[in-house]
Amino acid sequence: MVDRFIENFDCGHRACGGCGASAAVRMILKGAGKNTIVVSPTGCLEVFSTPYPETAWKTPWIHSLFENSSAVASGIEASLKKQGRLDKEKILVIGGDGATVDIGTLCISGAFERGHDFTYVCYDNEAYMNTGIQRSGATPYDADTTTSPAGVCSTGNNRPKKDLPQILVAHGSPYVATASMAYPMDLMKKVETAMNTKGPCYIQVHTPCCTGWGYDGAKTMEIGRMAVECGLWANYEIVNGELTSAKKVKRVPVDDYLKAQKRFRHLFKPVRNDAEIAKIQAIADKNAKKYGIDIE
Amino acid sequence: MEGSIAIAETVRLCRPQVISAYPITPQTHIVEGLASIVADGRLDAEYICVESEFSALSACIGASAAGSRVYSATTSQGLALMAEVVFNSAGMRLPIVMGIANRAISAPLSIWNDQQDSIMMRDSGWIQLYAEDNQEAIDMHILAYKVCEDHDILLPAFVCFDGFILSHVYEPIDLPSQELVDTFLGPFNPYQKLDVNDPISLGMYATPEYYLEFRYEHDKAVHRAAEALKKYGKEFGEVFGRDYSELVVGYKLEDAETAIVAMGSICGTVKDAIDEMRADGKKVGLLNLRCFRPFPSTDVAKALAHVNTIAVLDKNVSLGAKGAVAIEIKEACYGSNIPVYDYILGLGGRDVRKRDIKKIVELAEKGEGDMFYGLREEVL
Amino acid sequence: MTLGIGCTARPGNSRNNKTGSWRVFYPVMDTEKCTKCGTCQLICPEGCINQNPDKTYSIDLDFCKGCGMCAEECPDKAKAIHMVKEEK
């Protein structure tokens, strides 16, 4: 049972007001419960939570480098196993999409291939936010970032999101899920499930970023809901390689979600870019079909 | 036994709980030896078959931070790949011991010995020990754990031994007993660790207000390691019968007119050459550097104060400048007016023979130095 | 203060950083209207909303950055929180 009043992340951290990731981290830690050791890669979370000597972490916490948190977690797991602590203490990596989907691919693949008992939760704000909003492998199609800017000859990022959940399913992970901080109860439950599943488990959490996506911080939950409701983000669970649950929605067109964020503004100004928006709609349609999210 | 196997057996005696290493020539026999030891239940450890050297050292960080004694080994390309982690682990002040089977660095690709790999990490804040023979290689592993884990030191250490020349060579070894190693080392008692009963945040980031002070403390610790090495080196001698209380060791140096300075297995060849030169009446001696970081400047200056000529053998080159050892020796002897000549040799496994040492002494005494020794002009 | 070896610290001192000073808007909570659903406490990015003994909630203005998520998400049937501009 998740105790929603556990507080393992303290006030006084330096996240932007309205930060989806910091709200998500509080929820993730509630889902994880006590006796959790956290590993973080370099990124927004690490930077806003631990400027020496201030730390917002009330759990044991370690940060090494940008790309190696899965390898560090592997080492912690091996050590806890040898010390006989692995039945009591659990290992949780919380890292951003940059660290997870791009530069950390080597380490996460190795750790999942070796089958270490830990949970990796990726807070996906869809770009390298901490360094100023550069494109990552998780940046959605046509999003404007500083390294995939919209311009005269560009409509923004020209690739779809990398499907890391599927890659880790292929590694034989017993539990792979996606979640959104806009659906806290679902997120906490999934984290609890992952922490209690033996083996390497992965959850990718959609965490809207008001600074990077360009919307008023008060709307973080709403933006998160809109992503799910138009099908561009699907919440699902894959248990031992089988899709066992997906959040069903009465799907709406992608327009409202895109219009609400500055990073897609170029698709509407000076005129609506019908061709590009159709491509994005197709991505949403594909998600809907793949995960069965449409309410019949 | 083979050097690599001796090292594997010694690591077993040190009882690491986690071994995380990636195979790379010429260290492979060490990791294979350890895998076999663990598979046979002769060591109760977790052996992580990591997917790269980068992950190897990263896993060591995690395991050490969680409270386990750890071991890894690498060389050359592997060490270069884990460069980021090397600096990171030292800054996190984790007492990791890593064997380095010294090998030349690409490009061009070479699997043969020189000391460029560990030398290029000299800024990293790791202790660096260099073994002359396999006995030293294994003794230094035990000594390294003792020094690194001291709560006043808390540094990782490289134990360097020349690849192939030592790792693949069969020499008689005195392998210490488990009881003696247990008494000398004791169980791992971490200064701090990841523990839900006493949470800490480890590896935070430092703003300009704090970074300088962290680096200062780290530098002080590396300097303190010199005394710790001597102290525990003396204790090692009392327990195991082989003394390591000096960071630099002279051989026929006391009355030498010309001194050769060298590090690693080449010292064996140098000693034989010196014996022959002495028989011919030449007053030559050797200063063997056992420890490159912390650099024992004072000890070096004292040991070389009386000589007329210094010839430094560098199995490395800081391209565009000089050999790294010569640069340090010059710095240590600054103000003494003794000429220091640098001979870059043995790179990429090029054999160095007694006659080369004798030739070098001749060149040094003629005032000819600061060169790549032994160039094959015909291939240039 | 001794330097934390390895750049280390124990929990607690992020609270020395009173992020309430960042605010442009601040939340006003009307506990009469509060339906005690706990949504605000759950979603606040700061974690600065605490449960009162009577199970309503109050916001710690030392740390509240004024993002407005609580006011936005407070259920329609309650709307117990509204944002007010800070006077300087």
> What's the average model confidence in pLDDT over A120-139?
97
pLDDT at residue number A164? 98
How does pLDDT run across B135-177, given as a tens digit for each residue?
999 999 999 999 999 999 999 999 999 999 999 999 999 999 9
Query: Residue B236: enclosing H or E segment and its boundaries?
Result: helix B211-240
> Which positions in chain C have a beta carbon within 8 angstroms of at least one beta carbon in chain B?
3-11
Residue window 3-22, chain A: list those with CB within 8 Å of chain C.
Answer: 4-5, 7, 9-15, 17-20, 22
Chain B closest CA to A254's CA: distance in Å? 40
Chain A closest CA to C11's CA: distance in Å? 5
| Whether pLDDT at B338 is above 90 | yes
- Cα dist. A92→A32, A69, A74, B50, C45 in Å? 8, 10, 11, 19, 20
Mutate which of A64, A70, A83, A109 to disrupt the B interface (most B C-beta within 10 Å)?
A: A64
Q: What residues of C are in contact with residue B217 (Cβ under 8 Å)?
A: 3, 5
How does pLDDT run across B234-255, given as a tens digit for each residue?
999 999 999 999 999 999 999 9
Residues A11, C47 contacting (CB under 8 angstroms): yes
For residues B322 and B342, give the distance between their C-alpha atoms in angstroms, rounded to a whole number.
7
> What's the average model confidence in pLDDT over B318-333?
97
Residues B227, B298 contacting (CB under 8 angstroms): no
Identify which of B203, B205, B210 has the shortest CB distance to residue C6: B203
| Whether pLDDT at C1 is above 80 | no
For residues B234 and B243, give the distance between their C-alpha atoms in angstroms, rounded to a whole number.
6
User: Tokens representing A66?
Assistant: 């940008």
How does pLDDT run across A235-268, given as a tens digit for each residue?
999 999 999 999 999 999 999 999 999 999 999 9
B196 part of contact set with chain C, CB < 8 Å: no
pLDDT at residue number A1? 84
**C1–A53 C-beta distance less than 8 A:** yes
Chain B closest CA to A58's CA: distance in Å? 7
Q: What residues of A are in contact with residue C83 (Cβ under 8 Å)?
A: 218
Closest CA to B94 of A257, A90, A119, A75: A75
**A52–C45 C-beta distance less than 8 A:** no
Identify which of B18, B199, B200 has the shortest CB distance to residue A75: B18
| Whether pLDDT at A223 is above 90 | yes
For residues A97 and A43, give the distance between their C-alpha atoms in angstroms, rounded to a whole number.
9
Chain C closest CA to B91's CA: distance in Å? 6
Q: What is the pTM of this model?
A: 0.96
pLDDT at residue number A296? 79
* Closest residue in chain B to residue C6, using alpha carbons only: B92
> What's the average model confidence in pLDDT over A68-80?
98
Chain C closest CA to A53's CA: distance in Å? 6
> What's the average model confidence in pLDDT over B188-201?
97
The fraction of chain C above a pLDDT of 90, given in percent, is 94
